[in-house]
Structure 1
Amino acid sequence: MKKMLQGFKDFIMRGNVVDLAVGVVIGTAFTAVVASFTKSFLEPLIKWISGGTGELAGSLSPKKGIDFTYAAFLNTLITFLLTAAVLYFLVVFPLNKLAERRQRGEEPPPKAPSEEIKLLTEIRDALVAQSQAGRPAQQGNVYGSAVDDILQRRQEPPR
């Protein structure tokens, strides 16, 4: 259960996931602002210019029944701004602070390497030391002498 929660935490802390989620929420809220602007201002303006019947009218005053509902647009705009503020202060800002802490090194250090990794490192170092010392490898097996040295085995020369 602990590994599963740690995996979920690592998944959420990736910048891509948070950026995508914030982008989707802001995009949805902004879509509502555009739809409200269209409904509140553009549709009545088109009705006013066309006289409400689809034909162009010469009058400059709005006809009866054509209302510019600016209150609905302002309501949607305020909702968008509140949504953006909540996202910033409750999601983006805390995650940015956490990312800064990670970069400064306030996270716990990684675990020590396993015994297998230590052994492989010793083998690698012995092979490098052998190649730098210029010792000839045994016939047929380039790495034979280094492995034998590490395992403390001695082979009899061929007769």
Structure 2
Amino acid sequence: MIQEFKDFIAKGNVMDMAVGIIIGAAFTAIVSSLVADLINPIIGLFTGGLDFTNNYAVLSGEVPAGASLEAAREAGASVFAYGSFLMAVVNFLIIAWVVFMLVKMVNRVKAAAEKPEEVAPAVETGPSELDVLLEIRDSLAKGS
């Protein structure tokens, strides 16, 4: 049983998946920072400084006016956090786009690596100068 487990873990697919999950977690942190620190401020410029992450609707409970989403949750109110959802959608779209571009690049590199070297076709040229001179010599020798 232990040997079977070792064989299972040692398979390339399991190791590839583990590496992918670890890199994916790190990549998610980078994309979250990209969205929160770079994209949200730009969106805020076009929407008049509106920060989507703190947009919510109170379903039940009392929340002071202008309270942040975290303050509303700490107050025990039931909130519909549509701003957080919108930011999760933006995060997903950015991650999906970047992964798409990475896969496209990897596939292009793989295709280039698998493509056999193209052999340039031989350019047919006429007879060389030496061949022409030899032919002339032979013609003159026969004619005399």
Asked if these proteins are the same fold (TM beyond 0.5), I'd say: no
- Under TM normalisation by the shorter chain, which class is it? 0.3 to 0.5
